[in-house]
């Protein structure tokens, strides 16, 4: 009797991207219906696409709300912010297709930091700015006399600048809900 093995699509794609030609050929043979060479920006256009890519169940948001509210007693705005943060992490994970920024990669200046949204209240224009030191996921400290520096690797980083811009432009409501959740309650 054969047993089934379940594997996340994102893990298969990550193995394909980082694998040798032999590994790529084997994965193509094992998963003939999977499009390994397709552009991730063509596959992921909606939040539902992100959920499908990462096998996120439909009821995740309700489950999160129950657990977070019971534990932290967040108000509506704080809850929206917490949910938006989870969505942003998932968007980054899906678009990066298994790539993660490590300290070594960051030192080689690989990867692109998150964007934050600045909104002009008069015209409603949106301006995106890259890699702000005040953006979530990035902490930097330094000491000038001893010339000592330390930092944490940004959590919300993207493989390419194009993916970073795409994440913000394709999902502006989610980013806006995270950064400006107080505006959503008006």
**DSSP letters of 64-110?**
HHHHHHHHH---HHHHHHHHHHHHHHHHHHHHHTT----HHHHHTT-
Cα separation of 71 and 94, whole Å? 28
Confidence check: pLDDT of 174 > 60: yes
> Helices marked H in 97-171 — which ranges?
103-107, 161-170
pLDDT greater at residue 18 or residue 144: 18
Residues ≥6 apart with Cβ < 8 Å to 127: 117, 118, 119, 120
Give the model's pLDDT for residue 49: 93
Confidence check: pLDDT of 48 > 90: yes
Over range 55-68, report the average pLDDT. Answer: 86
pLDDT band at residue 1 under the 50/70/90 scheme: confident
* Token pair belonging to 108: 């080689």
Cα separation of 121 and 181, whole Å? 15
Q: Per 3-state DSSP, what percentage of the chain is helix, strand, and coil (rounded to 5)?
A: 50, 10, 40
Percent of the chain past pLDDT 70, that is, above it, reads: 68
Give the model's pLDDT for residue 136: 47
pLDDT in tens, 107-149: 666 666 665 445 444 444 455 544 444 444 443 444 445 444 4
Helices (H) and strands (E) in the chain, counts: 10, 4
pLDDT greater at residue 146 or residue 167: 167
> Which residue in the block uniquely carries the two structure tokens 């902490």?
139
DSSP type of residue 60? H
Give the model's pLDDT for residue 170: 92
Burial 77-105 (b: 16+ CB within 10 A, else e): eebbbbbbbbbbebbbbbbbbbbebeeee
Mean pLDDT of the chain: 75
Q: Where exactly are the structural domains of the chain? A: 41-184
Confidence check: pLDDT of 20 > 80: yes
Residues 151 and 140 sit within 8 Å (Cβ to Cβ): yes
Over range 5-16, report the average pLDDT. Answer: 83
pLDDT in tens, 67-78: 877 888 888 888
Q: Which residues pair with 112 in a beta bridge?
A: 158
pLDDT greater at residue 69 or residue 44: 44
Count, residues in the chain? 186
Over range 28-42, report the average pLDDT. Answer: 87
* Token pair belonging to 178: 């995270």
């Amino acid at each position: 009797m054969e047993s089934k093995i379940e594997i996340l699509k994102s893990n298969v794609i990550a193995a394909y991207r980082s694998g040798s030609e032999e590994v790529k050929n084997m994965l193509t043979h094992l998963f003939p219906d999977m499009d390994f060479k397709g552009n991730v920006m063509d596959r992921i256009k909606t939040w539902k696409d992100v959920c499908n890519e990462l096998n996120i169940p439909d009821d995740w948001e309700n489950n999160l709300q129950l657990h977070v509210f019971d534990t932290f007693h967040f108000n509506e705005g704080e809850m929206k912010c917490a949910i938006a943060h989870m969505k942003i992490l998932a968007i980054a994970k899906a678009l990066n297709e298994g790539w993660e920024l490590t300290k070594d990669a960051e030192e080689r200046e690989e990867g692109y930091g998150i964007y934050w949204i600045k909104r002009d209240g008069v015209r409603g224009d949106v301006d995106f700015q890259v890699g702000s030191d005040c953006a979530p996921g990035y902490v930097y400290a330094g000491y000038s006399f001893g010339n000592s520096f330390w930092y944490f690797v940004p959590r919300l980083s993207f493989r390419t600048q194009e993916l970073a811009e795409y994440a913000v432009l394709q999902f502006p409501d989610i980013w806006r809900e995270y950064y400006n959740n107080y505006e959503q309650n008006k």
